[in-house]
Amino acid sequence: MKFNENISDLLKENLIKKCRADFKAITEFINRAKKDLETAERNLGIDDDCAYTYAYNAMLHSGIALMNSHGYRPEIKNKHLTVIRFAATVAEKKLDYLLKMYNNMRKKRHRFIYEPFTPCSKKEAQDAIKSARKFVEEISKLIKDNNPDEKIYF
């Protein structure tokens, strides 16, 4: 997945809005992402669609934390895709594969909601959890590395 854009493109499209970086909220988003991963694990094999969705939510929450750490938040229009597009503009190249997975998960999660006969296999749910766990770890590290003067605990 390649998005050839920058933050100013997202601002021009009115997809993001400037905000004050709130490290308490950032911490809460990352902690929520970690809880989402735990919930995904607990549901694996019981409700694989649910496990997949919670893995996706973990990525969404950590992506919002990343945006906030840069002083932005998504606007209402295309919020989920905007988080991915923003992450692609500020993340390192090593996250390209995870961002591609995140975008694919976004599309599949959308089908779960609007097309009720879209099953998720246990393998898909396991892969989603694995990708989400790595994404949350990488985003957490990126936030800490980009804000060395902040006391961030997650």
Written as six digits, the tokens of 147 are 């804000």
**Helices of type H across the chain:** 7-12, 23-43, 48-69, 79-90, 96-114, 122-146
Mean pLDDT of 107-136: 92
What percent of the chain has a predicted confidence (pLDDT) above 90?
80
- At residue 88, φ and ψ (nearest 5 deg) are -65, -30
Domain 7-146 = CATH 1.20.120.330: yes
Domain ranges of the chain: 7-146
Distance (Å, rounded) from C-alpha 48 to C-alpha 42?
A: 10
pTM for this predicted structure: 0.93
For 20-69, write each residue's pLDDT tens digit.
999 999 999 999 999 999 999 999 999 999 999 999 999 999 999 999 99
| DSSP conformational letter for 91 | S
Burial 58-67 (b: 16+ CB within 10 A, else e): bbbbbbbbbb
Distance (Å, rounded) from C-alpha 2 to C-alpha 122?
A: 28
Q: Which residue has tokens 């590395």? A: 145
Mean pLDDT of 102-130: 91
Written as six digits, the tokens of 153 are 């605990």
